[in-house]
Each structure stands twice: as structure tokens, then as C-alpha cells.
Structure 1
Amino acid sequence: MTRSAAHAQSTNSVLMIRPGRFYPNPETAADNAFQRNADRGSNALTIMARKEFDAAVQTLREAGINVHVFEDTAEPEKPDAVFPNNWISTHHDGRIALFPMYSVLRRRERRRDILEALRKHYQVTEVIDYSPFEDQGCCLEGTGSLVLDHVNRIAYVSLSNRSNPKVIQHFADDFSYEPVTFTSIDSNGQPIYHTNVMMCIGTAFAMLGLEMIPNKVERQRVRAGLEKTGKEIVELSADQIANFAGNAIELHNNFGEKLLVLSNRADHALT
């Protein structure tokens, strides 16, 4: 693998979990201002989630993205299984990281059968398991917590209950990233639970809610890091963040074309 390929910002392959059950997780409601109480039952929500999931998979595949789909297991019940990026990350050198989760319900999502399936498609060189940090009450929820600039080896992290400095440093040391930590605040004055709801990094750009970082020194450090690495900064408003405009990902398809993947709601907030 060439250096340019090894350190590309985007990927052409994604792992997705088709939800077996989908409903608001009561264990994550306290610190997730983006989570809302449902106006319908869990069965109806699950049916809707599966339809949206299937449509998303079809859209990605039609755009030339390789999608590895795994069915959620019926037991134990896992209402957030559709978000696997919080417990697993895969890396260009064949290593896989497993992460410590804040919600006890979410710890059920880690699945060895998925690791074994990935070994059949890719050369997995090592699995680094950070989940024992849960016993110390320390969490780091994958690429929800970590917004990674793969090319420049920088890990941007908004500190919260889900993103502990001790685990951040272990990850940074193991995977050779420079951590840039800060605190971002939501409309209720609480720390934003995941960095990736307010920040997205692509090959040539960064979309983020700089105004949600109240500390001027931290805000300038984030801005300076992005400018130094040549990123075009697209500042997002708090309203755009609330509509998930920061929750996006750059991919590239099998033709080498770069794609920005985000929800319809986020797209409408940006236009």
C-alpha cells in the first residue's frame, strides 16, 4: 500500500448494522440533547428505521460505495445497534479498535462474529480492545468521540461523559494521532456528547460549529489546526448543528469520486 493510499482521508467501504430494534435509549437521554422522546411505539419506530436503513444502503451502493451489511441479533435487545462506529473503528494498517461505551445497553453491541467476518474480507493485523476502561468509568465512543484527520494524524475530540482524556491518550499513542481536545456546548449549556455531531473533516475541508466552543483559546487552537493543515473551514450555526449538518462523512466511490454523505435533514439545513 502506498503512503497516499494508506493515509487517504476517505474510504470506499462502510460497515452498517440493520437494526433489529430501534427506539430512544433511556440510558443515553440525560446527556444527549439531540435525542427526543418518541411519539410512536418501538415496533413502529423499528419498521421506519429499517426502511430508512435499506434506502440508505441502496443509495450508497448506487453511488459506488461498498457496503458491508450485518443484521442486528434479536437478543440481547440493542436499540442503538444501527450506530456501530461508536464501538468499532477500522484502520488502513489492518488494525481494529474496540471502544468503551457509556451506556451499559450499548456495550452489548460489540460482536466477535463481525470481527471474524471482516477477517474474511480484509487483512486484520491486530485488534486493540479499549473496552476494559469501562471498569474504570472511562469511555471513548469510537468515531463519535474521535473526528480523525487521517492525513495529518490529528484527532479532534470534544470532551464529555463519552470521551475521556485517559482513553483518548491511549488511542492517540497506539494509532499515532495528535489529540486536540476542547469542550463544545449545546443549546442547553451541556457538553455536546459526541464530537461528530458538531464536526466533520474531509480531504480539503472541515465543517464544524466553532461558535459552540465557548473557550476562546480552545476555539482558536481548533481553527489554527485546521488552517495549518490546509482545510477550508465551513462554519456551521447552532441551528444547522441541531439539524445534524455536522454529522456527515466523506467517502469516495469505486471511480475515485469524493462524496459527502449526510441526511436529508442536514442537506436541507445547509441549503
Structure 2
Amino acid sequence: MSQTTNTILMIRPVNFRMNEQTAVNNYFQEDLNIKNAEINAKAQVEFDDFVEKLRAVGVNVIVENDDELMDTPDSIFPNNWVSFHENGDVGLYPMFAENRRRERRDEVFIRLEKEGFQINNIIDYTSAEDEGFFLEGTGSILLDRINSKAYCALSPRADEELFIEFCEDFEYTPVVFTAYQNVDGKRLAIYHTNVMMCLAEKFSVICLDSIDDKKERKNVIKNLKQDGKVIIEINESQMHQFAGNMLQVKGENDQRYLVMSKAAHDSLTPKQVADIERFCPILSSSLETIETCGGGSARCMMAEVFLPKV
């Protein structure tokens, strides 16, 4: 069992814009006041530059183009609708926004099989959408694959019962909590776990300040320490620069990298950078348009492929 992979699936956008259906509870999104075509063109440049940087260090990036006819403004964030596992299982997840449900496409599975990956079994939770329950993939669920633990911050996009069901199906021990952010003077639930927390092999970057309940915070710390993870804390303003939205990947010769956006990297203190670089180098790329309009960052753009090779 491995915590990191060398293979990443990414979806190149064709209709990227601010998604009005997700803005209701993604408080990271902002309107840029420029034409959608311009937003999409800028997002494509950011996407291509990011892919190039990943490939330059030896990450195997499989790029699938979005389908223009689908009108899926958030397709650039595939990790919310699918997860790929070492035993050949695939998880399919129920999405809060109706226009995001169209992102789930068989073409993606066909492409992975063409690339030599084996899909044995699809575990489909999407019928929960009919009941109004959601669990948005590895946006909602942070997997400690080595220690078989799954962390989940509950929100309108992460239902506790569905999360427990996932943990039973995939044999993970659940660690449940709620994380909050300040929005117009109120403490509101953060929409995805992976914007306030990152799990790497030997460390975790986490905004502990966002877990308001002391017992829940203690429990998260206890679980991380139990598994020998070094905790690297970020504050809420760094979280708003997407400093929690990071992913550790493998490049050439199994070299690990912690991948993040330029905004996230720039928000870190020299000590935090040094703490991370004790474990692996940082790889960052400018994702300004994608972050501003999409309310997601580097981690959200990468769906990890752990599937076995045929």
C-alpha cells in the first residue's frame, strides 16, 4: 500500500468559469468580472503550465479533454467525482451541484484502460443525490492509505452517514470533525476537507484553527500523531490562499514532491517551507484564475491513479 502515486489524471477545461451552482457554499469563489471566454482561456494557460511542470519532474500526467457539449464549468476538479484504488476499485461520488454531475464520464475509464490500468469494480454512491446527500470524493475525504484512516470535515457536501458507508466499503477507520471559516462575521462549514488539510506520507499540513470543537481537534491531532505524522500548522489566512490544498506526488526515481499553487507557496513562512522541505521539495505553479473563479486549487485538479497495471 502506498500513500503517493506517480500517475495523475487531469481534465483540461473547455468551458471553465465561475460556477454559480457551487458558489452557494464555496466561500473561496470570487467573480472576476471578465468574459467567460477570457476566463477559460486564462485557465487553460494555467492548466497547461501546471501539467508541464509536473511532467518536467517525471510525474505521469494523463490529460483528458473536457466535453464542450456538457457545460461543466468545474470539470477541472475531477478528484471530487472519482477515486482510484490499488485493488482496482473505483469510487463514484454524489455531487452537490447538478451541473457537476455531468462530469462523471465513461470516456475517462476507457482512457485509463487504454493507458494500461485495470478497473475491477465500480462502487457507486451517486444514487444518494436523489435523497439530497453528498460526498465529494477526495475533496471531502482525505485518505491515509498506509494506516487505513479516512479524515472528513462534515459540510453540506460531506454527509456523515455516506462517509461511514464509504469507510466500511473501502475498509478505512473514520476520523470525523467539522471545520469552519469566517464568512461575513459568521463561522460557516468549509466546503471540502482538502482545503484545510493535506496528508502526505510523513507529515500533514493542517489548519487546526478551523476545527472549533476542542474535542474534535484533539482527536484529529491524536490520530495524526499516532501514525507518526509531523503536524505542520497553517493559519486561516494561509488556508484562504489555498495552503491546505496540496498533494504529495512521486516524480522520477520515486522522488516525492509537495504540489501546490504559487499563492499557497507565497503564503507560507520560511519556517513552514523549511519544515516541508525536510521531507520533500515543493513544486508550485500559478493558478490565479482557477483559484479565484473555481474556489479550488492544485490538489483539486489532480485525481490520483492508484489502479493496478494490466
TM over 0.5: yes
Q: How many pairs does the alignment contain?
A: 265
SS across alignment from 2:180:
coil
Gaps of 5+ in 2: 270-310
Deviation at 1:47, TM superposition (A): 0.2
Task: Please tell me the residue identity of whatever aligns with 1:161.
Answer: P
Deviating above 3 A after TM superposition, structure 1's stretches of 4 or more consecutive aligned residues are none
Whole-Å separation in 2 of the counterparts to 1:27 and 1:112: 23
Deviation at 1:39, TM superposition (A): 2.2
Residue deviations 1:71-114, cap 9 Å, x none? 00011211000000000110111111110000001001000111
Is 1:212 matched up with 2:210?
A: yes
SS across alignment from 1:166:
helix
Matches within 5 A, 1:142-221: 142-188=137-183, 189-221=187-219
Deviation at 1:166, TM superposition (A): 1.7
Matches within 5 A, 1:24-173: 24-120=18-114, 121-173=116-168
Whole-Å separation in 1 of the counterparts to 2:57 and 2:112: 22
Whole-Å separation in 1 of the counterparts to 2:197 and 2:42: 27
Whole-Å separation in 2 of the counterparts to 1:111 and 1:101: 14
SS across alignment from 1:251:
strand
Give the stretch that moved more between structures: 31-40 or 14-23: 31-40
Alignment match, 1:8: 2
Deviation at 1:124, TM superposition (A): 1.1
Deviation at 1:118, TM superposition (A): 1.4
Whole-Å separation in 2 of the counterparts to 1:129 and 1:113: 17
Deviation at 1:37, TM superposition (A): 1.3
Whole-Å separation in 2 of the counterparts to 1:108 and 1:124: 21
Whole-Å separation in 2 of the counterparts to 1:111 and 1:23: 20
Between the two structures, name the one with larger relative contact order (CA 8 Å, sep ≥ 6).
2
Task: Please tell me the residue identity of whatever aligns with 2:154.
Answer: L
Alignment match, 1:4: none
Deviation at 1:41, TM superposition (A): 1.1
Contact preservation (8 Å) 1:23, 1:38: no
Alignment match, 2:227: 229
SS across alignment from 1:187:
strand
Alignment match, 1:3: none
Alignment match, 2:306: none
Task: Please tell me the residue identity of whatever aligns with 1:162.
Answer: R
TM-score (norm 1): 0.96
Contact preservation (8 Å) 1:16, 1:70: yes
Superposition RMSD in Å = 0.8
Q: 1:23 aligns with which of 17, 22, 31?
A: 17
Gaps of 5+ in 1: 1-6
Contact preservation (8 Å) 1:138, 1:166: no
Deviation at 1:38, TM superposition (A): 2.0
